Amino acid sequence: MKTVMRNSALLLAVSAVSAQTGVNPDITIPATDGSLPAPGSNGCAEGYFPSTDTVIFTVPYTYKEVLSIIGNYTNLTWSGSPDNSVTTNNSAALKSNDWTPGSARFYDIDGAHVIETITTYEKPADGPYIEIHTLAPLTIPAANLSAYSDYDAQNWTSICGGKATYANFTIHFCATNATLGAGLLHSIHLADAVTVGKFLGGNNFTTCEALESNSTTPSGSSTTSGMLPSSTSSMTPITNAAVGQSVGGIFGFVGAFAGFAALAAAL
């Protein structure tokens, strides 16, 4: 009798926590081995919902310059993690900088313990740089959000005859609140891309032509309402006026996350 009572008290406590944080009590967070939960009928574990977010951003800097900022899996200064705050279980790659599938990186940010494991890593001298990793389940307490991802991809491709670099951040994820997750991930990835440009000098991309007449003030206007290239178009550079898309129409939604600006900058 006593055991039953204690158990139901525990159950109550657990469901109270779940209601507050949206955490599925079957999922251990952090999953220290970096593993992902088994998918349920909607593709996600119980209590989680699937979504996708894409951020497209072009920086007016060469692929080589971009790689000098992003080309080390454990150096996330461009993503707001201070030097040497990111660890890895592939210590050999720290020296060789030759990252391989299975390599995990670990860092803590805003109360979340992040574990990201590489599934694809390609870094040819002329690009594109392809880095795809999984994101083990984590909780961001301040955002009341738990999420994980089996596909968190970056593609950095040289464009404008080598004078600029086109970035595509695409994540497929499961979150306790898909709308909130998409908005937050969008802010984070956009801030990351903008930071790469800032680190390299802070010029904004407008058009390839503006880069030909290499004046420091871009001559093109940035008011063009950019379009995402259609799947049939060749590598048409787009202006950063259109920085992304999200399932659920996240366009113009980032502003709604002003409260998370610091969080986004930090992540």
Ligand X SMILES: *[C@@H]1O[C@H](CO)[C@@H](O)[C@H](O)[C@H]1NC(C)=O
Hunting for tokens 């502003």 — which residue is that? 255
Rounded to whole angstroms, the Cα distance separating 149 from 52 reads: 10
Residue facing ligand X at closest CB distance: 22
> Does residue 89 interact with ligand X by CB under 6 A?
yes
Site membership for ligand X, residue 22 (CB under 6 A): yes
Per rule CB under 6 A, is residue 74 in the interface with ligand X? Answer: yes
Q: Does 87 bind ligand X (CB under 6 A)?
A: no
Residue carrying the six token digits 């970056």: 154
Our finding on whether 33 is near ligand X (CB under 6 A) is yes
Q: Which of 62, 77, 119, 224 binds ligand X (CB under 6 A)?
A: 77
| Closer residue to ligand X (CB): 2 or 95 | 95
Angstrom CA distances, 134 to 137, 163, 173, 210, 253, stand at: 10, 31, 9, 37, 25
Q: Which is nearer to ligand X, 104 or 160 (CB)?
A: 104
Q: Which of 27, 36, 56, 66 binds ligand X (CB under 6 A)?
A: 56
Q: Is 127 left (phi over 0), alpha (psi -120 to 50) or beta?
A: left
> Of 64, 204, 208, 224, which one interacts with ligand X (CB under 6 A)?
204
For residues 39 and 162, which CB has a smaller minimum distance to ligand X in the complex? 162
For ligand X, the binding residues in 142-201 under the rule CB under 6 A are 144, 153, 155, 157, 168, 170, 176-177, 179-180, 199
How far apart are alpha carbons 164 and 242 in whole angstroms?
A: 17
Q: Which two tokens stand for residue 238?
A: 């787009």
- Interaction of residue 86 with ligand X, rule CB under 6 A: yes
Least distance in Å: CB of 39 to ligand X? 19
2/237 with CB nearer ligand X: 237
129-140 and 112-122: which strand pairing? antiparallel
The residue type found at 25 is P
Nearest-angstrom CA–CA distance, 23 and 240? 36
Q: Which residues pair with 54 in a beta bridge?
A: 170, 245
CB 238 within 8 A of CB 227: yes
SS3 letters across 196-264: HHHHCCCCCCCCHHHHHCCCCCCCCCCCCCCCCCCCCCCCCCCCCCCCEEECCCCCCCHHHHHHHHHHH
Q: Which stretch binds ligand X (CB under 6 A): 9-17, 37-45, 57-65, 96-104?
A: 96-104
Q: Does residue 236 bind ligand X (CB under 6 A)?
A: no
Applying CB under 6 A, the residues found at the interface with ligand X are 20, 22, 33-34, 54, 56, 69, 72, 74-75, 77-78, 83-84, 86, 89, 94, 97, 102, 104, 115, 117, 128, 130, 144, 153, 155, 157, 168, 170, 176-177, 179-180, 199, 202-204, 214, 228-229, 235
